[in-house]
C-alpha cells in the first residue's frame, strides 16, 4: 500500500481507503461477521483510512468501526459525517445544539472521546458559504470533540465555497472516469489551500466494476433501485448520475482497452490515483474479495497512455449528460 499526505495536519493515509456505507447500510445484506471480515481484510491490506456516517445503518457502520478501533493497536484514521439525521432537513437545523447531539451519538457509537475528522454530510448549498457554519465547527474542535473537520459535497460550487474557510481540512466529492469535472478548477484550488480530497463514488455505484448489465435487479431498499431518478437524495450519488444505458455502453468500451492483467476495477481506481491531488479514494466493499480487488490498483503500473481513449469515451457518451450538472 502507498500512502499520501492528508492536508497539512501530519496524517499519512493509505491512498486507498474503505468506504463503509456498504457494511453498515441496509441496502446490502451484510452480516455482522462479514462486516468484521471486511474490516480485518482492509487492515491486512494496509488500509488505515475508514469513511462512515451516522446515517449508515442508523449508526451500525460507526459501531463496527468502534469495535475495530478497540481491537487494533495500529494507527488508523476514522472519519464520520453528520447532518443527514436532521428531520426536517432544513438549513436552520445546522445549529450547535442539534449538531452537538449528533456528534455525541457518533462518539458513543465509535467508542472514542474525540473524532479524528468530522465531515458535514452534504449540507444544503445555501449554507456552504456561511461563516456561521464553520464557526460552529470550530467550537467543536475547541471542545475537544473533533480533531479536524471537512465537508462532503455534491457540487463543485459547494466545494469551492467550503474551501474559502481556512479550517476546512478536506472535501469529499464524487470523482471517477465518468465524473471528471473536479479536475478543471477545484483540484488546483484545493491543492493551493492544502485541502485534502477524498474521492467517493469511485466505482459509480458498481457500474465501473463491469458486473452490472441490463438484466441486473436491485433490492427494493437498494439506492440503485429507489433513487434511480433522484427521489431520495442527489442522483449524482447513484451511478454517478449517469444514464444507465449510456453508462453500460461506456463500460463495454472501457473493457476493450484494458491493459493486460487489469480488471475494470483496477482501471477505474488507478485512473483516480493518477491524479496526485487526490489524498484518498474510498471504494466500498461488502466482502473480503472486494477489498482484495479494490487494493490491487496501488501496485499497478501507470496508465497515462490510456487517458486519450478514456477521455474520448467520456466526451462522447458521458459528458453531455453530467458535466455541467455538478
pLDDT at residue 11, as a whole number: 98
The single-letter DSSP state of residue 302 is: P
Percent of all residues in the chain with a pLDDT value above 90, rounded to a whole number = 87
- Can you tell me the mean pLDDT for 239-258? 94
85-94, 159-168, 214-223: lowest mean pLDDT where?
214-223
The single-letter DSSP state of residue 90 is: -
Q: CATH no. for residue 44?
A: 3.20.20.100
- Of 38, 34, 40, 42, nearest to 16 by C-alpha is 42
Compute CA 56 distance to the chain's CA centroid, rounded to the nearest angstrom.
Answer: 13
CA–CA separation, 294 and 42 (whole Å): 10
pLDDT at residue 290, as a whole number: 97
pLDDT at residue 225, as a whole number: 80
Statement: residue 274 has pLDDT above 90: yes
Confidence of residue 286 (pLDDT cuts 50, 70, 90): very high
Statement: residue 157 has pLDDT above 80: yes
pLDDT at residue 233, as a whole number: 87
28-32, 196-200, 218-222: lowest mean pLDDT where?
218-222
Q: Is the bond preceding residue 44 a cis peptide, omega within 30 degrees?
A: no
State pLDDT tens for residues 11-27: 999 999 999 999 987 77
- Can you tell me the mean pLDDT for 103-108? 98
Check if the beta carbon of residue 48 is closer than 8 Å to that of residue 14: yes
Question: For the whole model, what pTM was predicted?
Answer: 0.95
Report the catalytic residues: 56
User: Could you give the number of structural domains in the chain?
Assistant: 1
pLDDT at residue 81, as a whole number: 98
State pLDDT tens for residues 62-91: 999 999 999 999 999 999 999 999 999 999
- Can you tell me the mean pLDDT for 299-320? 97
Statement: residue 28 has pLDDT above 80: no
Confidence of residue 222 (pLDDT cuts 50, 70, 90): confident
Statement: residue 280 has pLDDT above 90: yes
Instruction: Return contacts of 26-30, CB within 8 angstroms, 24+ apart.
Output: 26/57, 26/221, 27/219, 27/221, 27/222, 27/223, 27/224, 28/219, 28/222, 28/286, 29/219, 30/286, 30/287
DSSP SS3 for 212:
coil
Statement: residue 221 has pLDDT above 90: no
CA–CA separation, 189 and 195 (whole Å): 8
pLDDT, mean over the chain: 95
Which residue range forms the structural domain that includes residue 266? 3-322
pLDDT at residue 228, as a whole number: 79
Amino acid at each position: 500500500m502507498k500512502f499520501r499526505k492528508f492536508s497539512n495536519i501530519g496524517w499519512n493515509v493509505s491512498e486507498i481507503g474503505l468506504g463503509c456505507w456498504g457494511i453498515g447500510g441496509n441496502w446490502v445484506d451484510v452480516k455482522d461477521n462479514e462486516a468484521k471480515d471486511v474490516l480485518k481484510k482492509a487492515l491486512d491490506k494496509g488500509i488505515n483510512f475508514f469513511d462512515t456516517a451516522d446515517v449508515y445503518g442508523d449508526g451500525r457502520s460507526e459501531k463496527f468501526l468502534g469495535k475495530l478501533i478497540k481491537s487494533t493497536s495500529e494507527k488508523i484514521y476514522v472519519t464520520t459525517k453528520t447532518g443527514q439525521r436532521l428531520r426536517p432537513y432544513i438549513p436552520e437545523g445546522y445549529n450547535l445544539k442539534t449538531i452537538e447531539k449528533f456528534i455525541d451519538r457518533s462518539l458513543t457509537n465509535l467508542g472514542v472521546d474525540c473524532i479524528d475528522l468530522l465531515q458535514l454530510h452534504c449540507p444544503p448549498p445555501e449554507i456552504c458559504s456561511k461563516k456561521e457554519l464553520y464557526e460552529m465547527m470550530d467550537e467543536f474542535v475547541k471542545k475537544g470533540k473533533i480533531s479536524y473537520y471537512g465537508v462532503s459535497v455534491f457540487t463543485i460550487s459547494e466545494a469551492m465555497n467550503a474551501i474559502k474557510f481556512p479550517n476546512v481540512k478536506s472535501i469529499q466529492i464524487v470523482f471517477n472516469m465518468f465524473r471528471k469535472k473536479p479536475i478543471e478548477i477545484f483540484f488546483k484550488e484545493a491543492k493551493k489551500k492544502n485541502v485534502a480530497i477524498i474521492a467517493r463514488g469511485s466505482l459509480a455505484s458498481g457500474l465501473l466494476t463491469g458486473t452490472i448489465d441490463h438484466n441486473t435487479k436491485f433490492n427494493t431498499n437498494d439506492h440503485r433501485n429507489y433513487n434511480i431518478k433522484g427521489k431520495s437524495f442527489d442522483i449524482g450519488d447513484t451511478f454517478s448520475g449517469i444514464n444507465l444505458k449510456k453508462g453500460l455502453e461506456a463500460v463495454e468500451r472501457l473493457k476493450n482497452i484494458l491493459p493486460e492483467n487489469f480488471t475494470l476495477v483496477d482501471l477505474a481506481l488507478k485512473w483516480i490515483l493518477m491524479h496526485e491531488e487526490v489524498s484518498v479514494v474510498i471504494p466500498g466493499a461488502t466482502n473480503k474479495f472486494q477489498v482484495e480487488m479494490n487494493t490491487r490498483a496501488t501496485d499497478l503500473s501507470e496508465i497515462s497512455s490510456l487517458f486519450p481513449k478514456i477521455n474520448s469515451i467520456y466526451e462522447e457518451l458521458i459528458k453531455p449528460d453530467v458535466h455541467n450538472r455538478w
